[in-house]
Amino acid sequence: GTQPNQALTAAGGTTTIADLRTILIRRKSVVNNSIIEREIDLLTPLQNGTTPSELNLRDGDAIIVRKLEVGNTTDYDRQLVARSNLAQQQISVRVLSYPNGTIGNLTLANGSTFIDALTAISPNPDDADLDSIALIRFDPEQGKAVTQKLDGEKLLKGDVSQNVPLQDEDVIVVGRSLIAKISAALSVVTRPFNDFLGFRRFFEEIPELF
């Protein structure tokens, strides 16, 4: 029969905020219609390179993937999960760049790093401030956007410390002046972002701010 990991892959994979340590399988008993629940761990087999415990799914079963809890992500290897076939296979990264105010979306393989995005962007080194790039990401634990400064020039010269892993819904901003404008706009947001949707909406409306 179909295994839970196969079902998750067939459904398109899990997101970056999914907790693979506690997957809940819920099924209705054929005896008295009571609900039977079983918890399985799909992360440990990934870490150990072993096969998950077998659990044949039945028609009508429900698979519930819990959200990563705040403060419970210290030992959770997101990059390992991203490279596995359990995760969604592609991520979307938004790019904001001058001189022409380009705003676009990159579709990259899950598990991609900053060098993959930089290669896909193919910025003109004469026009773009490659030494001044910001990676902005929504941090659900803090409920706000977190900015990390990166140096594309150093990366292209072999500085692997700049080659950070990317996540779905990341935003890359190229250029000092644009980074300053985005940072200023983020600082005057009246309410913290409650979720990824609010974070995404902010950047969708960015063109109206400039």
> Do 100 and 204 fall within a single domain?
yes
> Do 12 and 76 fall within a single domain?
yes
Looking at 66, 83, 100, which one is the last position of a domain?
Answer: 83
The token pair that represents 206 in the structure block? 């960015």
Residue 205 CA, distance from chain mean position: 21
pTM: predicted TM-score of the whole model, two decimal places: 0.77
pLDDT at 40: 95
Q: Is the pLDDT of residue 102 over 80?
A: no
28 — pLDDT class (breaks 50, 70, 90): very high
Report the alpha-carbon distance of residue 91 to residue 88 in Å, rounded. Answer: 7
Per-residue DSSP letter, 142: T
Range name among 61-75, 82-96, 102-116, 159-173 with the lowest pLDDT average:
61-75
Q: What order of strands is seen across the sheet that includes strand 18-28?
A: 35-40, 18-28, 62-67
> Do 97 and 200 fall within a single domain?
yes
> Do 112 and 17 fall within a single domain?
no
> Do 68 and 124 fall within a single domain?
no
pLDDT at 161: 95
The token pair that represents 173 in the structure block? 């901003």
List pLDDT tens digits, range 150-180: 999 999 899 999 999 999 999 999 888 889 9
> Do 201 and 111 fall within a single domain?
yes
Report the alpha-carbon distance of residue 196 to residue 169 in Å, rounded. Answer: 8
Tell which wins on pLDDT, 185 or 58: 58
> Do 117 and 184 fall within a single domain?
yes
> Do 106 and 78 fall within a single domain?
no
The Cα-based distances of 188 to 137, 164, 209 in angstroms read 17, 28, 12
Asked whether the beta carbons of 4 and 57 are under 8 A apart, the reply is yes
Q: Is the pLDDT of residue 103 over 70?
A: no
Question: CA angle, corner 145, sides to 142 and 150, nearest 5?
Answer: 120
Q: How many helices (H) and strands (E) does the chain have?
A: 8, 8
pLDDT at 69: 81
Give residues with Cβ within 8 angstroms of 4, minimum separation 6. 23, 25, 40, 42, 52, 55, 57, 63
Provide the residue type at 201 as one letter: R
Residue 204 CA, distance from chain mean position: 18
The residue segments making up the domain with residue 27 are 4-83
Average model confidence (pLDDT) across the chain: 87
Query: Percent of the chain scored above 70 by pLDDT?
Result: 90
Looking at 48, 83, 118, which one is the last position of a domain?
Answer: 83
> Do 170 and 115 fall within a single domain?
yes
> Do 68 and 109 fall within a single domain?
no
The length of the chain is 210
Domain count, the chain: 2
Report the alpha-carbon distance of residue 150 to residue 133 in Å, rounded. Answer: 5
Give residues with Cβ within 8 angstroms of 191, minimum separation 6. none
> Do 129 and 169 fall within a single domain?
yes
> Do 71 and 104 fall within a single domain?
no
Q: Is the pLDDT of residue 210 over 70?
A: no
At 151, which CATH number? 3.10.20.90
Looking at 83, 106, 126, which one is the last position of a domain?
Answer: 83
